[in-house]
Structure 1
Amino acid sequence: MTAETMAAETMTAATTATDGLAAEVLCPPATATATATATAPGTETATAECGPAVRGELVRALFGDDHRAGHGPWRALLTTEPFRRRSGLAPDAQLRLAYGRLRTLNSTLDSALRLAADPVALANMHEWLSPVDAALTTVAGIHYNLFLGTLLDHDSDSDSDSDGDVRRDLSGFADLTRVGTFLCTEIDHGNDATALQTTARYDRARDGFLLRTPHAGAQKFMPNTSTAGGPKSGVVAARLLVDGRDLGVFLFLTALTGTEGPLPGVRVRLLPRRMGSVVDHCLTSFDDVFVPRGSLLSGPQGRLGADGTFSSEVANRRSRFLLSIGRVTAGKLSMSAAAVGSVRAALAVAVRHGSHRLIGGVRAPERVPVMAHRSHYAPLAGALATAYAMTLLHRTVLRTWTEHERTEQDRTEQDGADGAGRAEAERLVAVAKAWITWEARGVITECRERCGAQGLLENNGLAALVTGIEGAITAEGDNMAIHAKAAAQMVSGHSPARPPTDPAGRELTDPVFLRELLAAVECLELDRARAGMAAAAPGDALGRWNAGATAALRAATAHAQLRAAEAVAAAADALPPGSAAAELLHTLGRLFALERIAPRSGDLLNEGFVEGRHIAAIPAETDRLAARVAGEAQVLTEAFDLPAEWLADVPVAGAGYASAYDDPEGPWHRSAEEARS
């Protein structure tokens, strides 16, 4: 067989594989329109009867009934001139643009403090800003959540009355007279921040603290403390020393820079540019910088009286620190939000490009969209299922967390009833953040690859999403560290119900059965982790953890996958039964589950959760579901509700993408006679 014959047969097979997809789409057959050999599975034309209605239901499923209230203001920002895509800017210009956009954003708020106090609004902000400007998203998240939010959560020890502490004047931070930043991580201490070495020594004579960096490893690592963006203040994590006693790590409000640069005793040095974002990450150190007693951020974790007497409602120093940096949890939620927003943007671009990019068909001069090939659409179909699953999981986790947020008084009064639920909610936040951002990396990379070389170009935005997701993976707790902590907590304190081992008569078309299999994977891995740890040598805590760590980490991943599948099912069940949108969500859920079950099918067979026939059927069923999802790829991505203005700024997303590279002096703009003259 010649190479030409092999290529022709491969093209014929690939095109034949797309035949009949019009019958697979979820709109009624009488209204769906598609031509298998000339139209991509993802480009069937949505009709007035089906398309808009399905799209509307999917938008509500993704964003909620009040999506215009919660998401509308942030979405609207993307349509305004200051937030339109700018290509070809030098790094310094990109940084100036990010801080300029921060001020524009701030000017649209009715209250910066209200935003800082609302974890849902903060997450929504990250969700919509992340595809636009990674640097803006970073500095906005730091200012509103880590800085302003932390100040709102804590009291001032200065000028207290007999009943408690008074609030600081935050007006200068609310109007961005001063930009806020957060200085916790040090070169030698990141996830083990309770061991950081920056000190705050109480000076009784001056009734304040002296901030000092004792050695190179204690320099604050990566805060945005340069003069870019205007004068800055920071919340600084430092070890509180009172009369020689180390009382643990606390937070201190500290002015860092003025209009002319760093303030006396503050040293700021720019770090080398990191991949992706152009944020002004720096090394920052302190040489006995004095801050008044009121700079200590107080609360149940600790207070310093006017006479210099320290008191705390929390005995454990680690617990004091974790209480101080409670805003990191809201930050994890925001990182998950940034990831789901970036994933949806990448998929919207990749699906549109796959529908517009034409390649040679089986017979000349036929041209077909590249999306007509299973090799192209199947990965994107799986990515679409993942995008819906991670978005709906994020919504579930955000709702769960906010339901467990209480005032300090409520938490004290209900401690016995609420403590366990709150710990579980925090663990779910961590598990979701790690899983969502890791999955986002894979989806965004797939979308970039599906757009070929054009996906590498800056003007198409996908390259920035590829590098930007790396920041989310590391920010607010490195994924592996928070994933491992959550996994260890699950091994010791999480006992999910074990699904039945009775696969007779069960089918892969049953979404309940598929979710039971995901639950079975979680149970099996927890069993393995506990068995491994039980067999480890006694007295060796690290060896005991290492013996069960691999399985425990897989259990945490399986837990995230199960909760994501449940979130998709809940969203589908909330729609009118039997509606096209509900059926489409169920299809996404089944595809999502099957792609996670397939690699674990051997374990499931060995433990009696599936039969051999199930394993044999997985590949064909996965292909069938991928084809159905690809057949609705257009409406699925339209439901992401990205503004037309944003999409218009991404050349590769448009049918006329080649015009972005047109040359007005090119010979094709002149007739042959003009070219000869």
Structure 2
Amino acid sequence: MTAETLTTIAGADATDANAAGADAGTAGSSAVRGELVRVLFGDDHRAAHGPWRTLLTTEPFRRRSDLAPDAQLRLAYGRLRTLNSTLDSAFRLAADPVALANMHEWLSPVDTTLTTVAGIHYNLFLGSLLDHDGDVRRDLSAFADLTRIGTFLCTELDHGNDATALETTADYDRARDGFLLRTPHAGAQKFMPNTSTAGGPKSGVVAARLLVDGRDLGVFLFLTALTGAEGPLPGVRVRLLPRRMGSAVDHCLTSFDGVFVPRAALLSGAQGRLDAEGAFTSEVVNRRSRFLLSIGRVTAGKLSMSASAVGSVRAALAVAVRHGSHRLIGGVRASERVPVMAHRSHYAPLAGALATAYAMTLLHRTVLRAWTEYDRTERDRTVHDRTERDRTVRDRTGVAGRVEAERLVAVAKAWITWEARVVITQCRERCGAQGLLENNGLAALVTGIEGAITAEGDNIAIHAKAAAGMVSGHRPPRPPADPAGRELTDPVFLRELLAAVECVELDRARAGMRAAAPGDALGRWNAGASAALRAATAHAQLRAAEAVAAAADALPPGSATGELLHTLGRLFALERIAPHGGDLLNEGFMAGRHISELPAETDRLAARVAGQAQMLTGAFDLPDEWLADVPVTDAGYASAYDDPEGPWHRSAVEARW
């Protein structure tokens, strides 16, 4: 697709489109593409992302869309073993949140079932064992070589986001120096762990309420063998749940009937320890805090869910842009055939989606880096040290403490996965009926993103918690309310407007809560909740825009790549500012002329981005082998549906007879 086609059909500004370098085949565009790859994946992208990318090119990971659910599940566990065989150390992967996120980023577009079981095994299961292995040196070799697969049993049928209220119990048996795991009623069954016999024998870390001499000490994790070669072990009951949409994972209901585990099964640490005499000690007074410390791996899981979303979005866009560029339809004149991508009604949403994809990827990188650096500096500190430091010190990652760091991870996870749903749905729609066919991959991405939205904390719950924390403890600087002489072409001005949206919504939330009836905590929250949730979304959007700007500013002044990133950043910001124009005008942050100019400026930027769509998706660096397995990405996609017995294969003479 050329800039001229866009100009003729969609009325784009030819100067702007050409200035963006719409011909993706030029040497200059090749250099820009290479720089964009480094911007998206880092200077060490071949070391950090290369192994996962290469895995997608190998035969075991080539696309299979013709399998029944049971076969898909067997394939996923087989791929897990293949993946594990390529690792230099399963423990090193489990201990590295960056590597875990990268794994999710590349595997999600290929096999959501594999991504789910791999994330559970390496992060939630093996990671929890490594994090809480200070008191007991366990032999974990069976989990490293997948003699036993690990799973994670936390959520219960009656308790999901209120996991501190879990009802599975672990009653300390002094005579046997161990614990008896029990499921007291149907609502306490563990909900959705992959505990079937598929894939081989399994063990799990089970969240259960620790009872010592009848005293409830809070919820802890216990290492528990669940199944063997012949099925569930004595006292363990496993029942398959109905199939989950978009996934072949063996989600189950799991319950316990007096299952005995030794004292060493307790994953202990600062959250609590039980000595040889059965005496309990903890560095943490609050039972809720003990539980959150026990399941700390959920934070790395949120980062991995964000990674799954950005990887899936980039894959969906690569498919949609390729299809839109070679799918020809009738033009203005009867004899004319033009790419569907030439129509503004088609390319504008994809251009906005491309801007979003770059923003969410760079936000994910920023949040992952901040959390990793924060966690590294804090890992060896005591709980008391962490608490004191949270109150007094802002470290080099830009977050003041653990609470703020975890809040940023949660806000990013919710926003990225929600935005991913929107983008992937747009991409599916722009491929028409082809996008509904499983062999083109988009259908799996549409349903797969729903899992990321729910996993490691439902988005609504973690978003609401983060929003409440922002209302009580986040007071960002208010940008100047002086729009005179400011232009929508200024990226700094646009970021100030995003910051203003956050401030306006926080003010609205606090005002609503102050006006609520005293003594009604729920009523007070409800009075400010809507604005608070919008403030949290605005915060994520601002941080994403800042991440794009930082990437652009890190490049040499006048760089074509930097200018393209600023174009993406401006388009991203304008699309987020538009719904808040009334508030921004009313509060004095925008002038009336800005409101009038915004639609035309958005259209102009969309045309520029669309002119670069092939190069922008090329920088996603998806392997040719992966794209080759998606028929709709090829200009000759009709050949995938050719009928060798069709009449068009007969000669003209044969056809007449």
TM-score, length-scaled by structure 2: 0.96
The SS at the match of 1:298 is coil
- TM-superposition CA deviations, 1:267-303 (whole Å, max 9, x none): 0000000100100000000000000000000001100
Q: CA deviation at 1:16?
A: 4.1
1:304 aligns with 2:274: yes
Equivalences for residues 599-618 of structure 1 within 5 A:
599-618=579-598
- TM-superposition CA deviations, 1:462-517 (whole Å, max 9, x none): 00000000000000000000000000000000000000010000000000000000
The SS at the match of 2:401 is helix
Q: CA deviation at 1:46?
A: 2.0
Equivalences for residues 366-405 of structure 1 within 5 A:
366-405=336-375
Partner AA of 1:146 in structure 2: L
Cα distance in 2 between the residues matched to 1:22 and 1:46: 17
Q: CA deviation at 1:18?
A: 3.9
Equivalences for residues 98-247 of structure 1 within 5 A:
98-155=76-133, 165-247=135-217
The SS at the match of 1:410 is coil
The SS at the match of 2:488 is coil
Q: CA deviation at 1:15?
A: 4.4
- TM-superposition CA deviations, 1:99-155 (whole Å, max 9, x none): 000000000000000000000000000000000000000000000000000000003
Q: CA deviation at 1:221?
A: 0.2
Q: 2:315 aligns with which of 315, 337, 345?
A: 345
Cα distance in 2 between the residues matched to 1:23 and 1:545: 47
Q: For residues 625 and 411 of structure 1, do their structure 2 counterparts lie closer, same or farther at Cα, with a shift above 3 Å needed? A: farther
Q: CA deviation at 1:674?
A: 1.5
Cα distance in 2 between the residues matched to 1:651 and 1:155: 48
Q: Does the aligned pair in 1 maintain the 2:436–2:443 contact within 8 Å?
A: yes
Q: CA deviation at 1:19?
A: 5.6
Cα distance in 2 between the residues matched to 1:16 and 1:135: 42
Q: CA deviation at 1:403?
A: 1.1
Cα distance in 1 between the residues matched to 2:382 and 2:634: 52
The SS at the match of 2:160 is coil
- TM-superposition CA deviations, 1:345-396 (whole Å, max 9, x none): 0000000000010001122321100000000000000000000000000000
Partner AA of 2:238 in structure 1: V
Q: 1:66 aligns with which of 44, 65, 78?
A: 44
Q: For residues 225 and 215 of structure 1, do their structure 2 counterparts lie closer, same or farther at Cα, with a shift above 3 Å needed? A: same
Q: CA deviation at 1:410?
A: 2.9
1:57 aligns with 2:28: no
Q: 2:61 aligns with which of 59, 67, 83?
A: 83
Cα distance in 2 between the residues matched to 1:208 and 1:671: 80
The residue number in structure 2 matching 1:639 is: 619
The SS at the match of 2:155 is coil
- TM-superposition CA deviations, 1:563-608 (whole Å, max 9, x none): 0000000000111211111000000000000000011000000000
The residue number in structure 1 matching 2:381 is: 410
Q: CA deviation at 1:423?
A: 1.5
Q: Does the aligned pair in 2 maintain the 1:350–1:450 contact within 8 Å?
A: yes
Q: Does the aligned pair in 2 maintain the 1:225–1:268 contact within 8 Å?
A: yes
- TM-superposition CA deviations, 1:224-277 (whole Å, max 9, x none): 000000000000000001101111101000000000000000000000001001
The SS at the match of 2:380 is helix
Q: Does the aligned pair in 1 maintain the 2:9–2:342 contact within 8 Å?
A: no
Cα distance in 2 between the residues matched to 1:339 and 1:349: 15
Answer with 227-236 or 45-54: which moved more.
45-54
Q: Does the aligned pair in 2 maintain the 1:437–1:473 contact within 8 Å?
A: yes
Cα distance in 2 between the residues matched to 1:225 and 1:196: 19
1:625 aligns with 2:596: no
Q: 1:24 aligns with which of 5, 17, 39?
A: 17
The residue number in structure 2 matching 1:327 is: 297
Q: Does the aligned pair in 2 maintain the 1:21–1:627 contact within 8 Å?
A: no
The residue number in structure 1 matching 2:531 is: 551
Cα distance in 2 between the residues matched to 1:186 and 1:268: 13
- TM-superposition CA deviations, 1:76-114 (whole Å, max 9, x none): 000000000012100000000000000000000000000
- TM-superposition CA deviations, 1:394-424 (whole Å, max 9, x none): 0000011011113543355565235642211
Q: Does the aligned pair in 2 maintain the 1:15–1:362 contact within 8 Å?
A: no
Equivalences for residues 641-660 of structure 1 within 5 A:
641-660=621-640
Q: 1:661 aligns with which of 641, 644, 649?
A: 641
Q: For residues 79 and 21 of structure 1, do their structure 2 counterparts lie closer, same or farther at Cα, with a shift above 3 Å needed? A: farther
The residue number in structure 1 matching 2:651 is: 671
Q: CA deviation at 1:22?
A: 6.5
Partner AA of 1:343 in structure 2: V
Partner AA of 1:389 in structure 2: A
Give aligned pairs, total.
Answer: 643
The residue number in structure 2 matching 1:284 is: 254
Q: 1:584 aligns with which of 564, 573, 585?
A: 564
Partner AA of 1:92 in structure 2: D
Q: Does the aligned pair in 1 maintain the 2:201–2:229 contact within 8 Å?
A: yes
The residue number in structure 2 matching 1:293 is: 263
- TM-superposition CA deviations, 1:159-210 (whole Å, max 9, x none): xxxxxx2321111000000000000000000000000100000111111000
Q: Does the aligned pair in 2 maintain the 1:18–1:372 contact within 8 Å?
A: no
Cα distance in 1 between the residues matched to 2:186 and 2:563: 59
Q: Does the aligned pair in 2 maintain the 1:155–1:298 contact within 8 Å?
A: yes
Q: Does the aligned pair in 2 maintain the 1:302–1:320 contact within 8 Å?
A: yes
Partner AA of 2:486 in structure 1: R
The residue number in structure 2 matching 1:438 is: 418
The SS at the match of 2:136 is coil
Partner AA of 1:205 in structure 2: A
TM-score, length-scaled by structure 1: 0.93
The residue number in structure 1 matching 2:494 is: 514
Cα distance in 2 between the residues matched to 1:370 and 1:17: 11
Q: CA deviation at 1:528?
A: 0.5
Partner AA of 1:142 in structure 2: I
Cα distance in 1 between the residues matched to 2:653 and 2:12: 46
Q: CA deviation at 1:536?
A: 0.7
- Identity over the aligned pairs, expressed in percent? 86
- Gaps of at least 5 residues in structure 1 are 1-11, 33-43, 157-164
Q: Does the aligned pair in 2 maintain the 1:61–1:571 contact within 8 Å?
A: yes
Partner AA of 1:541 in structure 2: A
Equivalences for residues 486-505 of structure 1 within 5 A:
486-505=466-485
Q: CA deviation at 1:23?
A: 4.9
The SS at the match of 1:267 is strand
Cα distance in 1 between the residues matched to 2:6 and 2:458: 45
Q: CA deviation at 1:14?
A: 9.1
Cα distance in 2 between the residues matched to 1:14 and 1:661: 34
Q: Does the aligned pair in 2 maintain the 1:515–1:562 contact within 8 Å?
A: yes
Q: Does the aligned pair in 1 maintain the 2:40–2:361 contact within 8 Å?
A: yes
Partner AA of 2:65 in structure 1: S
Q: For residues 422 and 91 of structure 1, do their structure 2 counterparts lie closer, same or farther at Cα, with a shift above 3 Å needed? A: same
Cα distance in 2 between the residues matched to 1:146 and 1:130: 17
Cα distance in 2 between the residues matched to 1:309 and 1:212: 22
Q: Does the aligned pair in 2 maintain the 1:179–1:230 contact within 8 Å?
A: yes
1:270 aligns with 2:263: no
Cα distance in 2 between the residues matched to 1:87 and 1:525: 45
The residue number in structure 2 matching 1:454 is: 434
Cα distance in 1 between the residues matched to 2:158 and 2:201: 27
